[in-house]
């Protein structure tokens, strides 16, 4: 099954409860929460307090995409606040294996995100320790950027490696996902789609955006 995960980065931050309820009602599979610290990426969003406040507005799993330096120092706070999965960036973790164990010991599912310039070999040795591998198809920091097509071979290689090793991790794609690119990434082997601006700034509305992706998913 292909999972659809709206990214709150493009939601209306003054109406987060409304937007969380809308994507839940529209049939999203989980909610992707983009956490930025102004250092690992040039933008700043929110921390565990916001996660805590949206936790009881939806039954969907909350995925914390931590685009922050030293995620090991604060990831437990995000789990306590209600994140079901924590994604750390490979580029931000010197001891990635240790950080993945730390996430699991704190009671959450663990995943790793890789920037467009980061090769798959940076995370190959810990693929068996993760529940999700997130392949960035834009440089993290902002919503609404163009999909980087040259990432498709990386998605294919990740899927081939997972199949070869018999791993059941999710292979997710984040950045520039829309009705056209979702077909390409699913064909390349992704099974989880993160979409921010396509969902929240879609002229046809949130319901139509999610049902569009869902219908597209059904045909793939
Ligand atoms: C980018 C974030 C994404 C972002 C994607 O740094 O990690 O989750 O919201 O936005 P779109 O779907 O607009 O490219
Ligand atoms: Zn993200």
- Tens digit of pLDDT for each residue in 95-126? 999 999 999 999 999 999 999 999 999 999 99
Distance between CA atoms of residues 190 and 76, nearest Å = 28
Distance between CA atoms of residues 43 and 2, nearest Å = 29
Whole-structure pTM value: 0.97
Give me ligand 1 centre to Cα 13, in Å.
15
Whether 217 shows a pLDDT value over 80: the answer reads no
Band (pLDDT 50/70/90 cuts) for residue 142 is very high
Give me ligand 1 centre to Cα 53, in Å.
21
**Mutation pick for ligand 1 pocket among 5, 8, 9, 41 (CB with most ligand atoms within 8 Å):** 9
- What mean pLDDT value characterizes the chain? 97
C-alpha dist (Å) from residue 11 to 23, 187, 215: 10, 28, 22
Catalytic site positions: 34, 174
Q: How many CB atoms lie within 10 A of CB 215?
A: 10
């Amino acid at each position: 099954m292909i999972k659809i995960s709206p990214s709150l980065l493009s939601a209306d931050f003054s109406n987060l409860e409304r937007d969380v309820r809308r994507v839940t009602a529209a049939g999203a599979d989980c909610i992707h929460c983009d956490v930025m610290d102004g250092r690992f990426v040039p933008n700043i969003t929110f921390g565990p307090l916001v996660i805590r406040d949206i936790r009881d507005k939806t039954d969907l799993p909350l995925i914390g995409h931590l685009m922050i330096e030293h995620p090991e120092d604060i990831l437990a706070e995000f789990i306590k606040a209600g994140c079901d999965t924590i994604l750390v960036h490979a580029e931000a973790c010197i001891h990635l294996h240790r950080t993945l164990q730390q996430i699991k010991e704190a009671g959450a599912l663990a995943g790793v995100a890789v920037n467009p310039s980061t090769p798959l070999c940076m995370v190959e040795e810990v693929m068996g320790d993760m529940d999700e591998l997130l392949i960035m198809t834009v440089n993290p920091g902002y919503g609404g950027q163009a999909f980087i097509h040259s990432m498709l071979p990386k998605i294919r290689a990740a899927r081939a490696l997972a199949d070869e090793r018999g791993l059941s991790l999710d292979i997710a794609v984040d950045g520039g996902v829309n009705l056209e690119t979702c077909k390409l990434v699913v064909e390349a082997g992704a099974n989880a789609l993160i979409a921010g601006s396509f969902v929240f700034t879609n002229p046809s509305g949130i319901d139509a955006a999610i049902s569009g992706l869902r219908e597209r998913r059904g045909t793939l």
